[in-house]
């Protein structure tokens, strides 16, 4: 029985993880949970899963949850809050495996603490790998802790890499759906609304990642994530637009063979893979090959999707530039959703923040969080102008 700590349990990935636990009760159980601000869902999860510890984003929310549990005569659940709370959830002695699915750098300290505590991590939170990948992978090597990718593309790459040697890899091909604006003329980009950008053609996900998919910044973050997870330079990571989202990613080997992973577009499969690795439990997440008609692949258009170009540039510089890319995007996406900037205001803000970022390589999580805050401040200042 693997006992799980789920960081971001109320989110899209968190809830899919809980549905896997529901489906495989003989394999997985819930030890601890970390939510953000969704008190109703956190309460419902406490009632259903009876975790040892649950964390909320703030003191006030934690008090609110504690009061509701008391009202319903539910005892034995410790309620904590903030980043110390997420660390307590991730490092709890009864957790054997940590699912890292908080959105943004809010999940960074807990993910790092889980690795230091020797807990294997299933990683959905790509922002953490982008901001502090060098630190996290070094800690994982030192503590002999596996980081198993849940992001579907990296999960696919992880599967394709199982058959070859690192030195035999010629390129990692990340597939991208192209998002809802793959065929929208560039002149119409300025008028794109949050409602249009929130409609992803193939995946149902949280708000930030959905907007990041529409700008293709998400694919850029994944390029950096791939460099860190698989220890390759950005010149070995390629992006191809594949609108069917059937091939989740590929690995090209030096002999010319290209291995691809195909499956349903359902995050429960990569989650199950990460939880069960190196086993493959039988599941009902089957893919009907008879319905497959064609697979299209095309070059991404960097003029219409400048965020992808900016991510490759940040990947080449590493350190503070990757931190700034992620931080500036998070602030700009929030501003776009609040109609304080346009769709193209997102890449403009990121580009300006990157230009203002001095080259540096933060060596600790505290330094990463400081660089992240500096970049956010610059982004806010630029957006306020």
Ligand X SMILES: NC(=O)c1ccc[n+]([C@@H]2O[C@H](COP(=O)([O-])OP(=O)(O)OC[C@H]3O[C@@H](n4cnc5c(N)ncnc54)[C@H](OP(=O)(O)O)[C@@H]3O)[C@@H](O)[C@H]2O)c1
Q: Which residue is nearest to ligand X (CB)?
A: 11
Q: Which residue's CB is nearer to ligand X, number 12 or number 91?
A: 12
Quote the tokens at residue 5.
């700590």
280 binds ligand X (CB under 6 A): no
Q: CB of residue 303 vs ligand X: minimum separation in angstroms? A: 25
Q: Are 213 and 206 in contact (CB under 8 A)?
A: no
Query: Crossing angle, helix 306-317 and helix 345-355, to 10 degrees?
Result: 20
Q: Which residue's CB is nearer to ligand X, number 200 or number 382?
A: 200
109 binds ligand X (CB under 6 A): no
- Residue with tokens 């940590």, as numbered in its chain: 98
Q: Which residue's CB is nearer to ligand X, number 4 or number 267?
A: 267
The binding track of 315-354 with respect to ligand X, each residue x by CB under 6 A or -, is ----------------------------------------
Contacting ligand X (CB under 6 A), which of 140, 267, 275, 382? 267
Contacting ligand X (CB under 6 A), which of 52, 119, 126, 228? 126
Q: What is the DSSP string of 162-220?
A: TTS-GGGEEEEEEEE---TTTTS-GGGGGG--HHHHT--SS----HHHHHHHHHTHHHH
Return the SS3 of 67: helix
53 binds ligand X (CB under 6 A): no
Quote the tokens at residue 170.
């010629």
Q: Are 154 and 226 in contact (CB under 8 A)?
A: yes
Q: Which residue's CB is nearer to ligand X, number 85 or number 306?
A: 85
102 binds ligand X (CB under 6 A): yes
174 binds ligand X (CB under 6 A): no
81 binds ligand X (CB under 6 A): no
CA pair distance 215, 210, nearest whole angstrom: 9
Contacting ligand X (CB under 6 A), which of 19, 22, 37, 199? 37
Which residues are CB-neighbours of 325 under 8 A, at least 6 positions away?
130, 217, 220, 221, 224, 310, 311, 314, 350, 354
Q: What is the DSSP string of 107-153?
A: GHHHHHHHHHTT--EEE--HHHHHHHHHHHHHHHHHTT--EEE-SHH
Q: CB of residue 209 vs ligand X: minimum separation in angstroms? A: 4
CA pair distance 379, 385, nearest whole angstrom: 10
14 binds ligand X (CB under 6 A): yes
Contacting ligand X (CB under 6 A), which of 12, 45, 349, 357? 12
The binding track of 188-217 with respect to ligand X, each residue x by CB under 6 A or -, is ---------------x-xxx-x--------
Binding site for ligand X (CB under 6 A): 8-14, 34-38, 57, 86, 101-103, 106, 124-127, 151, 203, 205-207, 209, 267
């Amino acid at each position: 029985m693997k006992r799980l700590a789920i960081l971001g349990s109320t989110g899209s990935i968190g809830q899919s993880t809980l549905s896997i636990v529901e489906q495989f009760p003989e394999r997985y159980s819930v030890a601890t949970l970390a939510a953000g601000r969704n008190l109703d869902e956190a309460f419902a999860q406490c009632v259903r899963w009876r975790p040892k510890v649950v964390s909320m984003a703030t003191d006030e929310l934690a008090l609110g949850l504690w009061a509701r549990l008391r009202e319903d005569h539910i005892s034995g659940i410790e309620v904590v809050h903030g980043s110390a709370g997420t660390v307590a959830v991730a490092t709890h002695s009864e957790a054997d495996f940590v699912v890292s699915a908080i959105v943004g750098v809010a999940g960074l300290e807990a993910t790092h603490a889980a690795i230091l505590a020797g807990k294997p991590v299933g990683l959905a939170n790509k922002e953490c790998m982008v901001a502090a990948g060098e630190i996290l992978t070094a800690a994982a090597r030192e503590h002999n802790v596996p980081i198993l990718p849940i992001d579907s593309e990296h999960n696919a790459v992880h599967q394709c890499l199982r058959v070859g040697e690192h030195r035999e890899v010629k390129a990692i091909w990340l597939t991208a759906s192209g998002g809802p604006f793959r065929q929208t003329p560039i002149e119409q980009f300025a008028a794109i609304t949050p409602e249009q950008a929130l409609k992803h053609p193939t995946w149902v996900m949280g708000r930030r990642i959905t907007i990041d998919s529409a700008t293709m910044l998400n694919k850029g973050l994944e390029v950096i994530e791939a460099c860190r997870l698989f220890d390759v330079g950005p010149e070995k990571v390629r992006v191809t637009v594949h609108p069917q989202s059937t091939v989740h990613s590929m690995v090209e080997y030096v002999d010319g063979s290209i291995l691809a992973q195909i499956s349903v577009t359902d995050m429960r499969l990569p989650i199950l893979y990460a939880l069960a690795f190196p086993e493959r439990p039988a599941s009902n997440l089957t893919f009907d090959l008879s319905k497959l008609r064609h697979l299209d692949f095309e070059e991404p258009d960097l003029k219409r999707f400048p965020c992808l170009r900016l991510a490759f540039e940040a990947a080449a510089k590493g350190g503070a530039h990757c931190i700034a890319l992620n931080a500036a995007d998070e602030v700009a996406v929030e501003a776009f959703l609040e109609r304080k900037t346009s769709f193209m205001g997102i890449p403009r803000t990121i580009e300006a923040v990157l230009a203002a970022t001095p080259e540096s390589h933060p060596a600790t999580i505290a330094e990463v969080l400081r660089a992240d805050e500096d970049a956010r401040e610059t982004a806010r200042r630029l957006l306020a102008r």
